Amino acid sequence: MTVLAEQPLDALARFLRAARSHPDRPAVHGTDGSLTFAALEERTRLLAGALIARGVTPGDRVGIHLERGAQLVVALLATWRAGAAYVPLDRAYPHERLAFMAEEAGIQVLVAGEGADTRFAPAGVEVVDPAAPGPSAAVPVDDLPAADAAAYVIFTSGSTGRPKGVAATRAGVASLISALEEFGAYAPEPRTVAWNASVSFDASVQQWARVCRGDSVVVLDEEVRKDPERLTELLDEHGVTDLDLTPSHWEMLRTALLRPRADGRVPRLFMGGEPVPERTWRELSDAAARGVLDALNLYGPTECTVDATAAWIIGEGPHIGDALPGNRLHVLDGEGRQVPDGEAGELYIAGPRLALGYVNQPELTAERFPTDPFGAPGERMYRTGDLVRRTPHGLEFLGRADRQVKFRGYRMELGEIEHALAAHPDVATAVVVVRPADAADAGDRLVAYLVPAAGAPTAPALLRKHAAQSLPEFMLPSDYVFLGTLPLTPNGKIDTAALPAPEAAPVAAAGEGRAVHTETERLIAGVWSEVLGRPEIGAEDDFFALGGHSLMALRVVGRLKKDLGRPVPVKDVYKHPRLRDLAAYVDGLRDPSDA
């Protein structure tokens, strides 16, 4: 007989207990200020009361449209105190996407700061400013919502062109915290945690909810998390002990983080979001063996409340370990049968952290959350679509069984990007693939292959602008290749192996603008050409439209510092993505005595 473990304490209840136990301990720090546990408890109570006064009741959904900072933590906890589920609505997302998400989730109230553009909110939805929440109602003290009530709704990419809202439970969040404690990922004593992930991604839950167990949370804003120097300064300033990041982000920070520090150690690293490359595994494993750091590899889909498996990064690998406490893993073949160890199969996950399902999509929920034939009557499991095999060291991740990808830490459906591009009247067919870049260490690229509807192909810049109306920045292809027809396999499917490399395309994305002509423009063009792996760069070209990303931006500023003899902040590459604008900015940095 299976003995069920006692239900872990609700995360909100743990926070309230922590606030009573150590009210003066730092709870959260952001660019908008710092709060002790007592101050955070008071602020969340006031905002929760304001939400209740505006009609929010247990089971409702509250949209959160805030910048990274202490106010964001206040809003998330306040939503839970009001008995509702939060729906993150990222301020970087296009309005069309935000409007769909807010409508689909059925938000009752929107929490947004002063000056935020909230025109995407559905008619009748009231906006509450957390800094000035207004009238407040009484907040229940001990009357917590049911364990199976929704804690949040986070949207993931959808293959049909519609993002999917995943509703996770309060019990799932409580179980996640408890499981990571039992595994040993969280030290017993209070820690200081850097919140790195976007609130729109489920990895954020594992980071910000650490405050519920009494840990201090340092919220990293967008500029700091992209700048290794500023980030390491902030980690040292606040004594950060735990840092969650993707392998790609580690590549950005590795040199800065591995420098000798006062105590000789690096914060504990929580790796997730994408597979750990073998080179990265070896580097972290060697550092762990020397006692310099310790790192975990965490794996899990949004539908299973963030993390389903864990492994310490040491010894042979890469692998994703085994099930976290409470989870059950099944590796099945196409007929639903268990496969022998060492053979590939699709991973199914069962246990207490399964999400309720997809908002307003009962058929998809039934498809992806079938009955668990190996569990008790009525228990479900989640079909991940991930291919794995069991090894003596842990589960080895082999890739996807469908067209979903993890790209630079983001989970996305290529079909959603194709749907957005095909909606343009000049596009007959669109296929999107992830291709390795030719330039060493340049990173993979999203490439769109397009068949024009009629006549000449549309300029890539216009297609990118069209797609940006519905897709977030990280889902926009960097290359647009126009073909007369798409190559097919003998059975009539698109032959992705026969698609030409972007550089061989009839129409290229680069070099469309005027030629470079100043010394600084030529210097930057040479750096971009090397980093991006593109032979031609024009003065009107946009670094990010050509496939640039945060890791490449760091390489650009490193090269510019070497060639110019002075630093160029990485944030200024983001502020001036067009080559001629960046060149003008760099010229403005020159000391007059250089002339």
Examine the fold and report which residue of 474, 504, 534 is the final residue of a domain before the chain moves on: 504
In the prediction, which pLDDT does 257 show?
85
Tally of domains within the chain: 3
pLDDT at 561 over 90: no
The answer to whether residue 513 sits within a structural domain is: no
Say how far apart CA 571 and CA 545 lie, in whole Å. 17
Question: Read out DSSP for 346-393?
Answer: EEEEESTT---EETT-HHHHHHHS-B-TTSSTT-BEEEEEEEEEE-SS
Whether residues 282 and 234 fall in one domain = yes
Q: In what order do the strands lie in the sheet with 479-482?
A: 427-436, 444-452, 479-482
pLDDT band at residue 6, thresholds of 50, 70 and 90?
A: low
Whether residues 353 and 473 fall in one domain = no
pLDDT at 96 over 50: yes
Whether residues 417 and 551 fall in one domain = no
| pLDDT tens-digit map of 454-468 | 777 788 888 988 999
In the prediction, which pLDDT does 444 show?
78
| pLDDT tens-digit map of 223-252 | 888 888 888 889 999 999 999 998 878 877
pLDDT at 219 over 80: yes
Say how far apart CA 374 and CA 303 lie, in whole Å. 19
Whether residues 44 and 111 fall in one domain = yes
Whether residues 50 and 182 fall in one domain = yes
Q: 181: how many CB neighbours lie within 10 A of its CB?
A: 15
Instruction: Show the tokens assigned to 157.
Output: 């990419």
Tell me what the mean pLDDT of segment 524-538 comes to: 85
Global confidence as pTM = 0.84
pLDDT at 566 over 90: no
Residue 595 or residue 385, greater confidence: 385
CATH at residue 533: 1.10.1200.10
| pLDDT tens-digit map of 351-372 | 999 999 999 999 999 999 999 9
Whether residues 439 and 386 fall in one domain = no
Residue numbers of the domain that contains 425? 412-504
Whether residues 500 and 525 fall in one domain = no
Whether residues 431 and 332 fall in one domain = no
pLDDT at 439 over 60: no
Whether residues 473 and 540 fall in one domain = no
Say how far apart CA 159 and CA 396 lie, in whole Å. 26
Whether residues 490 and 524 fall in one domain = no
The answer to whether residue 352 sits within a structural domain is: yes
Whether residues 378 and 426 fall in one domain = no
Mean pLDDT of all residues in the chain? 89
The answer to whether residue 339 sits within a structural domain is: yes
Tell me what the mean pLDDT of segment 280-290 comes to: 93
Q: Among 180-194, 307-321, 432-446, which is the least confidently predicted range?
A: 432-446
The answer to whether residue 403 sits within a structural domain is: no
pLDDT at 438 over 70: no
In the prediction, which pLDDT does 584 show?
92
pLDDT at 3 over 50: no
Q: Which range, 296-300, 562-566, 587-591, has the best average confidence (pLDDT)?
A: 296-300
